[in-house]
Structure 1
Amino acid sequence: MKKSLAGALLALALPGLGAAPASAAPAPAPASAPAPVRAPEAAAVGFAGTVALNNCSGSVVRLPQSRPDDRALVLSNGHCLESGMPAAGVVVVDRPSTRGFDLLNSAGTRVATLRASRIAYATMTDTDVALYELTSTYRQIEKRHRVKALELDTSRPARGTSIKVVSGYWKRIYGCSTDGFAHRLKEGGWTWKDSIRYTAACDTIGGTSGAPVVDTATGKVVAVNNTRNESGGRCTLNNPCEVDENGTVAVRRGIGYAQQTYTIAPCVGTGNEVDLDRPGCTLPKP
């Protein structure tokens, strides 16, 4: 599971940027040249709405039924809880919290520290998710800081979906695609269901845990980043393995995973209240 890093990873190498000299001007196109045909642009994906925790990443999120004056929710991983990683089978509901979150704008600049009022829901059973309720409403955050919440998609993403993993902790964006789905993903004593597997380009690192996984076509959050097989280990901490319907185990060294979030919406009712007894809610219960 991806949390904070050792100091050796603090220096991230940035690729060199090539640019034309200031004095150079592009040659004009011939008068008869046809205008280039541009492909439809995908939704712009930046840092706006993401947050940095002291050990992980996260994002301010809303659901289709969320209202402007509802207290906002922050999405991260269950293994990022300030109290430590919940054991398998443990579900946390309505626990007081005063945790702080650094809110970022589109450029990745911190514009505010948001404060939690409680942990609305958290678990590492079947999924790896935490939802914090803030003391601020969506309207207050947008008015004071000019930052909108990210919207959770209510549909399961398809294989091959173009995605961005947006880490507020590192202020870094990873781009790749959904390579497929792990029937079961096992890591140490935890098992997660129907996890998203990334293509190799999303080589996430510690501190990216809890980062929103954004569909680049819609700009909506389809998953929450949570782990990567770091060294080829088999089903051990930081080395998750896949188990298919027949019990066959597969180890994919260097490949990262995320937990789908479309299952959250049916469990949230009026006022952004988590209600695990709502029709269609399949999140684990205490």
Structure 2
Amino acid sequence: MRSILKFGCNLSFGILLTIGIGTAMVEPSVNAAIFDRSGRKLPDREVNSARVNWQMLSTAAGRRYNGVGLIEVNYGICTGFLFSTGVHPKAPAYVLTNGHCQGSARKLPGNREIIVNRSTKTQFTVNYFHDFKADRLTIPVKRLVYGTMKNTDIAILELSKTQQELIAAGIVPLQIAAAPPVAGEPAIVVGVPSEGVKDELNFLHAVTCQTGELANVKEDVYNWQKSLRHRCSIVGGMSGSPMISLKTNRVVGIINTGVNDNATKQPQCSINRPCEVAQNGAIQTFPQENYGQLVDRIPSCFNPQGVFDLDRASCQLERP
């Protein structure tokens, strides 16, 4: 739909970059749909319309979500969020986003690749509200501790500050749920819409919606097991946005893909036109569905000191 890749945060037009997946050159994007407040799908061209089911957050109203922020790399932007790993005072601060946000301008992670402890030039900016008057806090990422697009689409980033330092600065980490959501659970998605969005709207937005059923999703060479259907309004830049249950106030999913309006004539399951794969192998594209990835396995990989440990016996994330 709209590329997550846009030079800078406040351009009024999108500059598309291409990356290689196999032999094809494609644009990496949150390929998703926008909806009105009655749940009807809107065409992409209405992204700046007041009809879109989302609202721009203010500093006061959105304080609990000030740890959701902008991830900027040398080829584009995504959304990510600070999440809690416990109360240890020296625990590093960690941010969760998509694995596809940690590729490069030429290459996404492979469909069987699991990246562990890799250096990165990524930065993370919080307090990304339209009316925030003070200087926004931008924190360098120390390393990518875990990233993959194999069976899921997640990346865990360790920041150069501790969790306690950010809490002391007023930044609120989100809690991750220990179990998947129930279909129909009321939720809110918080992220930074970018591609196609006017400069004055290119800040944190909140989308109220519901969680859907789970489905196995295929997009090009990638297969994501137990993806979370949803009909929350999503555009480029919102890759990595948290889906937060309004019942528990815990993160139950992370946004990653959907069908591009301009890709409906492409082959099913191609880039920008993900499909669902049934148990009998049948495939079908649902343009009205967006998708996210479950996150409930992530807390199991942090030790009592709040440090990510993939070798921990309880860790449920896939290992290389």
Secondary structure at 2:126's aligned position in 1? Answer: strand
Matched, 1:132 2:157: yes
Cα RMSD for the two superposed structures: 2.7
Distance 1:51-1:82 versus aligned 2 partners, 3 A rule:
farther
Spell out, residue by residue over 1:93-146, the C-alpha distance to the aligned partner (whole angstroms, 9 max, x if none).
1112242111126777373001111101000001100000011112111222x1
Partners of 1:67 and 1:108 in 2: CA distance = 33
Unaligned runs of 5+ in 2: 7-11, 15-43, 52-61, 194-201
Task: Give the superposition deviation at 1:56.
Answer: 0.7
Counterparts of 1:143-182 in structure 2, within 5 Å, are 143-144=168-169, 146-168=170-192, 170=202, 171-182=204-215
Amino acid at match of 2:177: D
- Distance in 1 of aligned mates of 2:229 and 2:241: 15
Matches for 1:232-251 after TM superposition, within 5 Å? 232=264, 233=266, 234-251=268-285
CA contact (8 A) 1:185 1:241 kept: yes
- 1:148-169 per-residue CA deviation (whole Å, 9 max, x = no partner) reads 1111111111111111111135
TM-score (norm 1): 0.80
Determine the C-alpha separation between the residues in 1 that align with 2:131 and 2:282.
42
- By how many angstroms is 1:66 displaced? 5.0
> Larger Cα Rg: Structure 1 or Structure 2?
1
1:79: how far off? 0.2
- Checking the alignment, whether the CA contact within 8 Å between 2:257 and 2:291 is kept in structure 1 is yes
Given the superposition, is the C-alpha separation of residues 214 and 106 from structure 1 closer, same or farther in structure 2, using an over 3 Å criterion?
farther
Residue in structure 2 matched with residue 204 of structure 1 by the alignment:
234
Change (3 A) 1:116 1:143: same
Deviations 1:70-97 (A, max 9, x none): 1110110000015342011111111122
SS of residue matched to 1:74 = strand
For the 8 Å contact 2:255–2:292, the answer to whether it is kept is yes
Higher mean displacement: 226-235 or 108-117: 108-117
The residue that corresponds to 1:272 in the other structure is: 306
TM-score normalised per structure 2? 0.72
* Distance of aligned partners of 1:45 and 1:218 in 2 relative to their CA distance in 1, 3 Å threshold: farther
Q: 1:4 to 1:219 in 2, by over 3 A?
A: farther
**Residue range with higher mean Cα deviation, 233-242 or 188-197:** 233-242
Matched residues in 1 for 2:225 and 2:111: separation?
Answer: 13
Residues 215-246 of structure 1 show CA distances to partners (whole Å, capped at 9, x for unaligned) of 11222111110001124351111211111222
Secondary structure at the counterpart of residue 246 of structure 1: coil
8 Å contact from structure 2 (residues 70, 128) kept in 1: no
Q: SS where residue 209 of structure 2 aligns?
A: strand
CA distance in 2, matches of 1:215, 1:15: 25
Structure 2 counterpart of 1:220: 250
Amino acid at match of 1:237: I
**Which residue of the other structure, out of 68, 75, 80, is the alignment partner of 1:58?**
80
Cα displacement (A) at 1:265: 1.3
Task: Give the letter for the 1:102 counterpart.
Answer: T
Contact 2:92 2:307 in 1 (8 A): no
Q: Which letter does structure 1 place at the counterpart of 2:118?
A: R
* Equivalent residue for 2:101, pick from 54, 73, 80: 80
Residues 103 and 109, structure 2, Cα contact 8 Å, conserved in 1: no
Identity of aligned pairs, percent?
A: 28
1:142 aligns with 2:160: no
Q: Tell me whether 1:67 sits opposite 2:88 in the alignment.
A: yes
Unmatched segments (≥5 aa) in structure 1: 17-43
Q: Distance in 2 between matches of 1:107 and 1:269?
A: 37
The residue type equivalent to 1:4 in the other structure is L
1:19-73 CA-to-partner distances (Å, cap 9, x unmatched) read xxxxxxxxxxxxxxxxxxxxxxxxx88532101022111101113x452431110
The residue number in structure 1 matching 2:197 is none
Kindly tell me: are residues 10 and 249 of structure 1, through their superposed partners in 2, closer, same or farther at Cα, counting changes over 3 Å?
Answer: closer
Q: Aligned residue for 1:21?
A: none
Q: Secondary structure at the match of 1:236?
A: coil
Following superposition, the deviation at residue 14 of structure 1 comes to 5.2
